[in-house]
Structure 1
Amino acid sequence: MTAPPTVRIIAGHTGSGKTEVAVSLALHLAAAGRRVALADLDVVNSSFRSRERAALMEARGIRIISSSPGHGAAIDLPAISAEVRGPLHDPAVDVILDVGGDNVGARALTTLTQDIVQRGYDLLLVVNAYRPDTNTVDGVVGHLHAIELTTGLRFTGLISNTHAIQATTAQDVLNGCDLTRQVSELTGLPVQYVTATPVVLRDLPADLPGERLPLGLFMRDEWM
């Protein structure tokens, strides 16, 4: 049975790849025929923002919401667009909220807490075992608790997203899955998604927990 549309909040430490996950998830849902809106709520970081790929997503029918007029990368307003409340109150739309990289960035969610709780949500933590601040169980759980304390929302699941960019191997992904599994066992949170490029996904064992999410490298230009 196809799950009903919901709000998915994508959070993770700076450099975890959360924006890449958010964009890939939006494209994945849209390809399945879902109505999708993605809101760039990252008011902390000035680069690698989901709005930078607005043209790509809008061409696939995805509604993009940001604090920047025309989604321009060089123009930013330190505020959350009220436009995001429209999709939040439309039960026929899958909403993806891409938030800042730490508890300070996640504070932007507090202006939408009532709308989010009323609609129902999944708050998903992106776990990348190759980032120095989240390469241990204690590091991941500490980050998780800081975001919960700031936002008043509770995490509902985990996303395993360990990678080495273009050089990622199946073993890299498995290394990250092991850390994510340990966090899952400690917190009771399920592994919602395991991400990797389509080529690497085919090499993963079938018994890994979590839905496979094909990951694009949309946020990195070819020279990166």
Structure 2
Amino acid sequence: MQKKLQLTVVCGHYGCGKTNLALNLALEAAQEGGQVTVVDMDIVNPYFRSSEYGELLESRGIRLIAPVFAGTTLDTPTLPPEIYSIFEGGGQVFLDVGGDDAGITALGGLHEQMEAAGYEMLYVINRYRVLSQKPEEAAALLREIESASRLKATGLVNNSHLGVETKLSTVLDSMPYAEETHRLTGLPLLYSTVPDFALEKEAQLPAGCRKISRLVRFLWE
């Protein structure tokens, strides 16, 4: 019997950590078995997108649908026709949506199919990124994303981090920001992420937090 289709959109502002979260969610889903697909909808930005991690995904049995020309020197990628195949099968599908107008608008082109199939749309926030450091800014960005995508976010993920400088206190200090963003948007705060390296050995994961791995690296690392 074919497993029911589960669509999860991961969206948010530039640098919030969407791609790293999408990769973590896909890898966790793959560990549980079943068919898992990652759709890279970051069709303009050549940095920090799921397509750069194709080998990792393939090694875990995860299908990757990438923009046409992704991984090349061409800068005019388009959505591949095979993206529509995600609505024909089952399993879990994670859509990593770019933080620019092109990525969000491309998602809007799929809104009818998304609504018909049912979806979860995670709005990822990062207190430490410019233009989203205040709850009011994060709420305003959400309205822009929902308008362009013609879809509604269903949950909030606090992914506030400072890259390799992230400590547990970095996440804990962002909690009031996440709670106020939750109040302003009306979205349920699903969890706050904590990088595994920020946890000391045998340390308890704080309530409302989820541990993730840092998979996305800067070009110079």
TM-score over 0.5 for the pair:
yes
Structure 2: unaligned runs, 5 residues or longer: none
In 1, distance between residues paired with 2:218 and 2:85? 30
In 2, distance between residues paired with 1:197 and 1:34? 26
User: In structure 1, what is the equivalent of residue 180 of structure 2?
Assistant: 182
In 2, distance between residues paired with 1:132 and 1:204? 30
Helix, strand or coil at the partner of 2:11: strand
1:42 and 1:99 in contact (8 A); partners too: yes
User: In structure 1, what is the equivalent of residue 13 of structure 2?
Assistant: 13
- Following superposition, the deviation at residue 88 of structure 1 comes to 2.7
User: In structure 2, what is the equivalent of residue 150 of structure 1?
Assistant: 148
Identity across matched positions, percent: 34
- Following superposition, the deviation at residue 125 of structure 1 comes to 0.9
Alignment of 1:122-201 (within 5 A): 122-200=120-198
In 2, distance between residues paired with 1:139 and 1:115? 30
User: In structure 2, what is the equivalent of residue 68 of structure 1?
Assistant: 68
User: In structure 1, what is the equivalent of residue 83 of structure 2?
Assistant: 84
- Following superposition, the deviation at residue 44 of structure 1 comes to 2.4
User: In structure 1, what is the equivalent of residue 48 of structure 2?
Assistant: 48
Q: Number of residue pairs matched?
A: 217
Letter in 1 for 2:155: G
1:11 and 1:99 in contact (8 A); partners too: yes
In 1, distance between residues paired with 2:199 and 2:100? 28
In 2, distance between residues paired with 1:62 and 1:178? 36
In 2, distance between residues paired with 1:51 and 1:139? 29
Give the TM-score, by structure 1 length.
0.87
Structure 1: unaligned runs, 5 residues or longer: none
CA deviation string 1:19-57 (max 9, x = no partner): 111112111211222421001111221221110100111
- Following superposition, the deviation at residue 104 of structure 1 comes to 4.4
User: In structure 1, what is the equivalent of residue 216 of structure 2?
Assistant: 218
In 1, distance between residues paired with 2:136 and 2:171? 20
Letter in 2 for 1:120: G
Give the TM-score, by structure 2 length.
0.88
- Root-mean-square deviation (CA), in Å? 2.2
In 1, distance between residues paired with 2:204 and 2:9? 26
1:32 maps to 2:45 = no
